[in-house]
Amino acid sequence: MAEARKWDGLERRGRAGAARRKKAKPSRVVADPEWYRKAVFYEVAVRGFYDATGDGSGDFVGLTEKLEYLEWLGVDCLWLLPFYQSPLKDGGYDVSEFFSVLPEYGTIGDAANFLQEAHHRGIRVIADLVLNHTSDQHPWFQESRLSRDNPKADWYVWGDDNQRWSEARIIFTDTEPSNWSWDPQREQFYWHRFFSHQPDLNYDNPEVQEAMLDVMRFWLDLGLDGFRLDAVPYLFERDGTNGENLPETHEYLKRIRKEVDDKYPGTVLLAEANQWPADVVQYYGDGDEFHMCFHFPVMPRMYMGLRREQRYPITEILAETPAIPDGCQWGIFLRNHDELTLEMVTDDDRDYMWTEYAKDPRMKLNMGIRRRLFPLLDNDRRVAELFHSLLFSLPGSPVMYYGDEIGMGDNIYLGDRDGVRTPMQWTPDRNGGFSRADFAQLYLPPVLDPVYGFQSVNVEAQLRNPSSFLQWVHRMVEVRKQHPVMGVGSFELLNAGNPSVLAFVRQTIGDDGQPDIVLCVFNLSRFAQPVELYLGQFEGHTPHELLGRVPFPPIGELPYFVTLAPYGFFWFELLPAPAEEARV
């Protein structure tokens, strides 16, 4: 409650801060080469967070104003969806100018100021960057298509033969008949692994390699702390291959890593590679490629575990997840701006997600439909808490999605991409407090339905209510950050005789040289469940429940007995028995 009031008060002082914007502020980001392994990430769309200019679209100035909220929430790093100049035919992933900001979002200066303010609050920022292709509106492509001998003629992948590399699969089979499209101006085909309006850059051309490094340097110089690199497997093309995960691609990615390590230490590279974990690990290299990769399959499996009321969908994928090099980290998420996807497992007989679980009527309904977390969970607060407790304790760094911390809903009538990208809901006022523009001017209408609409679901109301979901998430983030073991610790599944119960132990040695041990127990069932845990290795330790610091009975010789409420969970810190001298 005290926390809530504090933030509320700062908010009311509001926009006076804008005047001070120009003054340079010192960064309060704590230097730590492995910060990303302990950080809580927060994915946000500049367009959807806060509209400070009143034009109906969120912007950098608005995002800057809301940094206070994000600092209060406790997130360590923001991941920004693409904000570059773009015709927005693919949500900004079709960039038409890398060294600029989409005018609706503001200017380069606004972005620089935002980065400075974020750092001043101890918050890092990474951004989406697409290496593979540009928009066909990009000047590079406009120049390249002019002739076969202009200076940028070889910046894209051109060919007279549209049958070459037919082994490469077509990713958007619904809209694209081929990976080649005809350009009438140059009278040649150009290669595109995604949409035909997104021609692939030609990485065999050293100038292109250098140009994209320049793009990265530009934004890192401006203050970005890293990139989430989109669609990385497809940078090169080679005859007789499907063009995915080629050695040349890894070589270039390693070059990027070396560049940032040498000149921008502390920068993080996060890969989007929507594949089976055993295949994703190649993107960590020997610890010399990406720092982080998303763990894609774990989210749908959490959902299936919930449906089945048993842990196996989750534990199987964790058991199949290989070890990763030192200093690397998984990114764990519950939801993001894309759909609940199962595509990474289609032709893999090690997995039954597609062949069997995908036949579940509820799963079928949800697949391919972009839904937010709360609608997926039937708006059940208990399950949302259970899922967040998993998000914050599974091995990896949690990546939250804006709005999920207040339980925002979606608008499935907006079309698949936009349904989960509606404006952040700040207050019960006009446009949910997102913008002072006319309603009709908004980039997307805010959610208005009686359950999830901004009048009932908004930040302001939840800040005032000490038992709100937002306050609960705030507390969880705080506890998670008190226990870096959740990010860096080892992971050991425990033997639980009750199939509805998932239990594991995270362990590390803390900075003080003392063991930091956390025991996590989850009930995936809507019924109360008991479980006996074999904790012989911790005999004599006392579990302290982490949210309330309540000591539980010490672990003895017998199996440790825990009872869990429906969808209940416990995080325990295991503290050793006091030393003998201390007792005397």
Stretch that binds another protein, among 11-19, 315-323, 326-334, 340-348 (CB under 8 A): 315-323
Q: Which is nearer to another protein, 261 or 309 (CB)?
A: 309
| Residues 491-520, mask of contacts with another protein (x by CB under 8 A) | --xxxxxxxx--------------------
Catalytic residue among 51, 272, 289, 405: 272
Q: Does 537 bind another protein (CB under 8 A)?
A: yes
How big is the CA angle at 170 (ends 166 and 171), to the nearest 5 degrees?
Answer: 155
Q: How far is the CB of 374 from another protein (least distance, A)?
A: 18
| Number of residues binding to another protein, judged by CB under 8 A | 34
CB nearer to another protein: give 7 or 534: 534
352 binds another protein (CB under 8 A): yes
> Is residue 306 involved in binding another protein (CB under 8 A)?
yes
Nearer to another protein, 171 or 494 (CB): 494
CB of 32 to another protein, least distance (A): 34
**Piece in contact with another protein (CB under 8 A), picked from 145-153, 159-167, 439-447, 522-530:** 522-530
Please name the helix (run of DSSP H) or strand (run of DSSP E) that holds residue 493, with its range, or none.
strand 490-493
For the record, the structure tokens of 81 come out as: 């969806």
Distance CA(314)–CA(323), nearest Å, equals 17
Q: Which strand (E) or helix (H) includes residue 114?
A: helix 108-120
Shortest Å distance, C-beta 308 to another protein: 6
Binding range to another protein, per CB under 8 A, among 99-107, 117-125, 228-236, 526-534: 526-534
Under rule CB under 8 A, which residues in 542-581 are in contact with another protein? 557, 559
Cβ pair 63, 49 in contact under 8 A? yes
AA letter at 256: I
Asked if 356 interacts with another protein (CB under 8 A), we say yes
- Which of 243, 337, 525, 567 is close enough to bind another protein by CB under 8 A? 525
Q: Which span sits near another protein by CB under 8 A: 40-48, 100-108, 132-140, 489-497?
A: 489-497
Whose Cβ is closer to another protein: residue 293's or residue 318's? 318
- Looking at the DSSP bridge assignments, the partners of residue 543 are 574
536 binds another protein (CB under 8 A): yes
Q: How far apart are CA 341 and CA 303, in angstroms?
A: 12
Q: Token match 């080629």: residue? A: 246
Decide if 230 is catalytic: yes
Q: Shortest approach of another protein to residue 319 CB, angstroms?
A: 4
Closest to 397 (Cα-Cα) out of 270, 272, 335, 486: 486
Q: Minimum distance between the CB of residue 385 and another protein, rounded to whole angstroms? A: 19
Is residue 360 part of the contact set for another protein (CB under 8 A)?
yes
**Selected binder of another protein within 35, 357, 454, 570 (CB under 8 A):** 357
The gap between the terminal CA atoms of the chain, to the nearest Å, is: 40
Burial zone of 124 (CB within 10 Å; 0-12 exposed, 13-18 middle, 19+ buried): buried
Contacts of 64 (CB under 8 A, 6+ apart): 21, 52, 110, 113, 114, 117, 118
Who's near 517: CB < 8 A, 6+ residues apart? Answer: 485, 505, 506, 507, 538, 541, 573, 574
Our CB check for another protein shows the closer of 46 and 535 to be 535
362 binds another protein (CB under 8 A): yes
Query: C-alpha distances in angstroms, 331 versus 277, 397, 404, 416?
Result: 12, 5, 17, 24
Q: Which residue number, 185 or 355, has a Cβ lying nearer to another protein?
A: 355
**CA distances from residue 505 to 5, 89, 209, 351 in whole angstroms, order as listed:** 36, 45, 44, 25
- List b or e across 96-112, with b for residues whose CB sees 16 or more CB atoms inside 10 angstroms: bbbeebbebbbeeebbe
Taking CB under 8 A as the criterion, the residue among 2, 16, 319, 579 binding another protein is 319
Residue 273 or 535 having the CB closest to another protein: 535
The window from 275-283, 415-423, 472-480, 487-495 that contacts another protein (CB under 8 A) reads 487-495
Residue 513, CA distances (Å) to 324, 327, 510, 518 in order: 24, 19, 5, 16
Give dist(CA 52, CA 447) in Å, integer.
Answer: 19
> Least distance (Å) from another protein to the CB of residue 383?
12
Binding site residues, another protein, CB under 8 A: 306-312, 315-316, 318-319, 352, 356-357, 360-362, 493-500, 525-527, 534, 536-537, 539, 557, 559
> So which residues are the catalytic ones?
230, 272
